[in-house]
Amino acid sequence: MHRTVSRALLAIVFALSSARTLPAQSPVTVDEKLPAYTKATDGVSGKLKSVGSDTMNNLMTLWQQGFKEQYPNVVLEVEGKGSSTAPPALVSGTASFGPMSREMKDKEIAEFEKAHGYKPTGLPAAIDMLAVYVHKDNPLKSLTLQQVDAIFSKSRNGGLDKNIATWGDLGLTGEWASKPIALYGRNSASGTYGYFKDKALFGGDFKDSVSEQAGSSSVVQSVATDKFAMGYSGIGYITADVRAVPLAESASADPIEATVDNAYSGEYPLARYLLVYINYKPGSQLEPLRREFVRYMFSREGQLVVVKDGYFPVPARVATGALKSVGLAPAKGPQ
- Identify whether residues 55 and 140 lie together within a single domain: no
Q: State the virtual CA torsion across 253, 158, 135, 254 in degrees, nearest 10.
A: 0
Q: Find residue 243's DSSP bridge partners.
A: 134
Residue type, 245: V
- Identify whether residues 112 and 165 lie together within a single domain: no
Domain for residue 333, yes or no? no
In the chain, the DSSP E strands lie at: 47-52, 75-80, 98-100, 121-135, 143-144, 182-186, 211-213, 229-234, 242-244, 247-248, 271-278
| Cβ contact 135:241 at 8 Å | yes
Does the structure show a pLDDT above 60 at 9?
Answer: no
Does the structure show a pLDDT above 50 at 178?
Answer: yes
Query: What backbone torsions phi and psi does residue 87 show, to the nearest 5 degrees?
Result: -55, -50
| Close Cβ partners of 315 (under 8 Å, ≥ 6 residues apart) | 13, 14, 17, 18, 31, 33
- Identify whether residues 255 and 179 lie together within a single domain: yes
- Identify whether residues 78 and 185 lie together within a single domain: no
Does the structure show a pLDDT above 90 at 233?
Answer: yes
| Cβ contact 58:85 at 8 Å | no
DSSP 264: H
Query: What backbone torsions phi and psi does residue 296 show, to the nearest 5 degrees?
Result: -65, -45
Does the structure show a pLDDT above 50 at 19?
Answer: no
**pLDDT, position 236:** 87
Domain for residue 292, yes or no? yes
Domain for residue 302, yes or no? yes
The mean pLDDT of 138-146, rounded to a whole number, is 98
Domain for residue 104, yes or no? yes
The mean pLDDT of 25-32, rounded to a whole number, is 76
- Identify whether residues 119 and 213 lie together within a single domain: no
- Compute the distance between CA of residue 19 and CA of residue 30 in angstroms, rounded to an integer: 13
Domain for residue 149, yes or no? yes
Does the structure show a pLDDT above 50 at 253?
Answer: yes
Per-residue model confidence as pLDDT tens digits over 179-209? 999 999 999 989 899 999 999 999 999 999 9
**pLDDT, position 83:** 94
Quick one: which of 71, 22, 17, 13 has its CA closest to 46?
Answer: 71
Query: What backbone torsions phi and psi does residue 122 show, to the nearest 5 degrees?
Result: -100, 125
Among 14-28, 39-53, 62-76, 139-153, name the one with the lowest average pLDDT.
Answer: 14-28
Among 2-16, 55-69, 267-281, name the one with the lowest average pLDDT.
Answer: 2-16
CATH number, domain with residue 223: 3.40.190.10
Quick one: which of 65, 66, 59, 12 has its CA closest to 36?
Answer: 66
Supply the mean pLDDT for the chain.
Answer: 90
Which of 271, 286, 313 marks a domain boundary? 271
- Identify whether residues 149 and 256 lie together within a single domain: yes
**pLDDT, position 26:** 55
Domain for residue 101, yes or no? yes
- Identify whether residues 250 and 285 lie together within a single domain: no
Per-residue model confidence as pLDDT tens digits over 97-124? 999 999 999 999 999 999 999 999 999 9
**pLDDT, position 131:** 96
**pLDDT, position 15:** 42
Q: State the virtual CA torsion across 289, 317, 301, 31 in degrees, nearest 10.
A: 180
**pLDDT, position 27:** 67
Domain for residue 335, yes or no? no
Quick one: which of 214, 307, 231, 311 has its CA closest to 272?
Answer: 311
Instruction: Read off the pLDDT band of 317 (50, 70, 90).
Output: very high
Quick one: which of 223, 234, 158 has its CA closest to 191?
Answer: 234
Per-residue model confidence as pLDDT tens digits over 74-88? 999 999 999 999 999
Domain for residue 26, yes or no? yes
- Identify whether residues 134 and 207 lie together within a single domain: yes
Which of 227, 247, 271 marks a domain boundary? 271
Domain that includes residue 196, residue range: 129-271
End-to-end Cα distance, the chain: 27
- Identify whether residues 283 and 233 lie together within a single domain: no
- Identify whether residues 152 and 259 lie together within a single domain: yes
- Identify whether residues 254 and 135 lie together within a single domain: yes
**Total domain count, the chain:** 2
- Identify whether residues 149 and 96 lie together within a single domain: no
